[in-house]
């Protein structure tokens, strides 16, 4: 897999035009565009098609958490949108996750699309106080619920992969070696996260909030894949 397909840019904006403009300028470094609650609330399902048209894989970070029937029905609608990834809260348990995965598959099948990968969100990376046993419980729920991956902090990837070696590990809270950690209590540099076994890295503010986002993206990329000067 190319490095850019392992990098997701978090488009946390309240305006689709602004998000598209940001996505376009970051395309050389990011193959995945993450749409979170803010952008989805502002621009709705059309966001997915517009970013797919720009050539991105779309990661819908909607963190579903509700009764299983509601999640199944919502996931069925989402499955037909063309996204590549969808997050669901693993805290909700295996039954809800399974309902979401089934819904995603039904929706994608009906639309003739490949089903998005369901990702169980284990512990929010802003949460520094989660008790240690919670990770295993949430990884197991994700496996049992049929998810293809999990979202966890870099520091949790090793333990998570011991429990679920085939799960894709998606890691937010990525920070360049120099810079602000914002509200991410358990952050890691991109290289640390990859060394720990992360498959997909989620990066937001260090790039989108930089005075020159393309320069920040290039520098971040360079930290992982230094260009050979010879």
Contact flag: residue 121 with ligand C5P (CB under 6 A): yes
Minimum distance between the CB of residue 113 and ligand C5P, rounded to whole angstroms?
24
Contact flag: residue 184 with ligand C5P (CB under 6 A): yes
Minimum distance between the CB of residue 76 and ligand C5P, rounded to whole angstroms?
23
Q: Is 227 left (phi over 0), alpha (psi -120 to 50) or beta?
A: beta
For every residue of 18-74, DSSP letters joined together read: HHHHHHHHHTTT-SEEEE-HHHHHHHTTHHHHHHHHTT-EEEEEEEE-S-HHHHHHH
Shortest Cβ contact with ligand C5P: which residue? 204
Whole-angstrom Cα distance, residue 54 to residue 33? 10
Are the C-beta atoms of 57 and 119 separated by less than 8 Å?
A: no
Contact pattern for ligand C5P over residues 134 through 173, marking x by CB under 6 A: -----------------x--------------------xx
Among the listed ranges 101-109, 118-126, 160-168, 214-222, the one in contact with ligand C5P (CB under 6 A) is 118-126
DSSP E strand stretches across 111-188: 117-121, 149-151, 168-171
Whole-angstrom Cα distance, residue 68 to residue 39? 25
Catalytic residue among 27, 63, 161, 215: 63
How many residues of this chain interact with ligand C5P, rule: CB under 6 A? 16
What are residue 118's phi and psi, to 5 degrees?
-85, 130
Considering only residues 187-226, where is the footprint of ligand C5P by CB under 6 A? 202-205
Tell me 128's DSSP state.
S
Catalytic site includes residue 63: yes
Binds ligand C5P (CB under 6 A): choice among 84, 125, 142, 189: 125
CB closer to ligand C5P, 99 vs 135: 135
Whole-angstrom Cα distance, residue 34 to residue 49? 13
Among the listed ranges 16-24, 120-128, 192-200, 219-227, the one in contact with ligand C5P (CB under 6 A) is 120-128
Catalytically active residues are 63
Residue ranges that bind ligand C5P, judged by CB under 6 A: 10, 12, 36, 61, 121, 124-125, 151, 172-173, 182, 184, 202-205
């Amino acid at each position: 897999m190319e490095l850019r397909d392992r990098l997701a840019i978090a488009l946390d904006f309240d305006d689709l035009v602004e998000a598209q403009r940001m996505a376009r300028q970051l395309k050389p470094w990011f193959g995945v565009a993450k749409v979170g609650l803010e952008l989805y609330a502002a621009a709705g399902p059309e966001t997915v098609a517009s970013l797919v048209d720009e050539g991105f894989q779309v990661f819908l970070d909607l963190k579903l958490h509700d009764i299983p029937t509601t999640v199944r029905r919502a996931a069925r609608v989402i499955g037909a949108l063309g996204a590549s990834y969808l997050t669901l809260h693993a805290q909700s348990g295996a039954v809800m996750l399974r309902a979401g995965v089934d819904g995603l598959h039904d929706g994608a099948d009906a639309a003739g699309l490949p089903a998005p990968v369901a990702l169980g969100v284990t512990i929010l990376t802003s949460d520094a106080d989660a008790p240690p046993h919670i990770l295993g419980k949430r990884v197991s729920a994700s496996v049992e619920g049929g998810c293809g991956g999990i979202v966890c902090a870099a520091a949790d990837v090793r333990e998570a992969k011991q429990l679920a070696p085939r799960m894709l590990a998606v890691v937010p809270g990525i920070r360049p070696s120099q810079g602000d950690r914002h509200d991410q209590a358990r952050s890691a540099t991109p290289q640390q996260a990859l060394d720990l076994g992360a498959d997909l890295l989620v990066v937001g503010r260090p790039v989108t909030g930089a005075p020159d986002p393309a320069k920040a993206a290039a520098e971040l990329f360079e930290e992982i894949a230094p260009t050979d000067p010879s």
